[in-house]
Amino acid sequence: MKLTVSKKDFQDALRKVISEKRSTLPILTNFKLRSEENRLYIYGTDLEVYSTYSILAVVEEEGEICVSSKKLVDISKVLPNTEILLNKQDNSLKVVSGKTKYSLPVVDPLDFPNFEKFPEDLAVKVISNDLLKGINRTVYAASKDESRYTLNGVCFSFTDTKLDLVATDGHRLSLYKIDYKGKVEKGKYIVPLKALSELKKLLPDAVGVDIAVNGSNMFFRSENWSLQTRLLDGIFPDYTIVIPKDYLIQIIVDRSQLLEGIKRVIVAIEESTKPVKVDLDSSTLRISSVSDGTVAEDELEVDYSGEHFQIGFNGNYLIDAIEEIETGECIIEFTGKDSQTVIKPSKETQSYIAIVMPMNI
């Protein structure tokens, strides 16, 4: 194997391929490099997630090797020239940039785990930016409690017309709907958080993304990269029954003012759950808290003329939900002081919905 690549392209690719710093299987601490025609392919895996990224290269000799991922990443950060020569000689990889040279030991690529072939006949296509938004607007609500295994990821639910991305930890839920092209069998598949973290690195480099499910694996692919992940076992709860069809009170508020008001109040709270009260009175939404004798309060003007209404929340949950509304106004729908509250953008009601359960304060 002998080839020349751009330092910038090489650095970017290495950052976007999954790598293991420590593993009981030493081969997993390596990248597999393969040169073919005019491209360099970089492979990495932890046996749960598999990713590959390819970049343009001037290939003099085709071939493949395995080399320490950590050393390759560290070296790539300090190379002086804009071009890098990679050359396999005997049992080492020569890395040359200007007058700087390295020689790294290599491992037999036959020991590297195989990637499954992308199931072409099962694929649908989505817009990359839609998928990235969907992940960002749902992943925050996924459970971090390992005992709630089926909630430790985002559910990809294929319906007749939409791909629903859904996450919940039992106290809150987030839902984002995106369009897809192609035919797929309806179903719900739980993608683990680690895979989504790796996928978020790749999505900005794509326009369209192919998605396919085969057995216990989900596949994502674009022009220059691919990612395969093992799905979480188990049945994701029926999220549709949690979404209220009616509401008691609906208000529209400025997203930025509401977000800043909540942040000003919770800064005075010592408890990790950041409990806040929300009071609605004539033309006023009041946010308040009491913590160790410290009282904090903030007010917003709203178009409301009903009776006094009070409800309590985990302030962090409100912030997480509202921050994913990009600009403008948000709609808040209260169904009762002891039942779920819906938060959604005023101009995007069919794409993003957040649901937060109240708490007693």
What was the pLDDT predicted at 40? 98
pLDDT tens per residue across span 240-286? 999 999 999 999 999 999 999 999 999 988 888 899 999 999 999 99
- 3-state class (DSSP) for residue 258: helix
CA gap 126, 112 in Å, rounded = 31
Mean pLDDT for the chain overall: 95
273 Ramachandran zone, left/alpha/beta (phi>0; psi -120 to 50): alpha
What was the pLDDT predicted at 296? 94
pLDDT tens per residue across span 23-35? 889 999 999 999 9
What was the pLDDT predicted at 22? 85
DSSP code, position 232:
B
Q: Is the dihedral of CA 53, 59, 63, 66 positive or negative?
A: negative
CA gap 17, 69 in Å, rounded = 10
pLDDT tens per residue across span 77-104? 999 989 999 999 999 999 999 999 999 9
pLDDT mean over 197-214: 96
Domains along the chain with CATH numbers = 2-111 (3.10.150.10), 120-241 (3.10.150.10), 243-356 (3.10.150.10)
The pLDDT confidence band at residue 350, using thresholds 50, 70 and 90, is low
Assess contact for 192 and 50: CB atoms under 8 A: no
The pLDDT confidence band at residue 184, using thresholds 50, 70 and 90, is confident
110 contact partners, CB below 8 Å, separation of at least 6: none
* Choice between 270 and 113, residue whose per-residue pLDDT is larger: 113
pLDDT at 234 over 80: yes
> What is the DSSP track for 7-28?
HHHHHHHHHHS---SS-SSGGG
**CA-based diameter of the chain, in Å?**
81
What was the pLDDT predicted at 349? 62
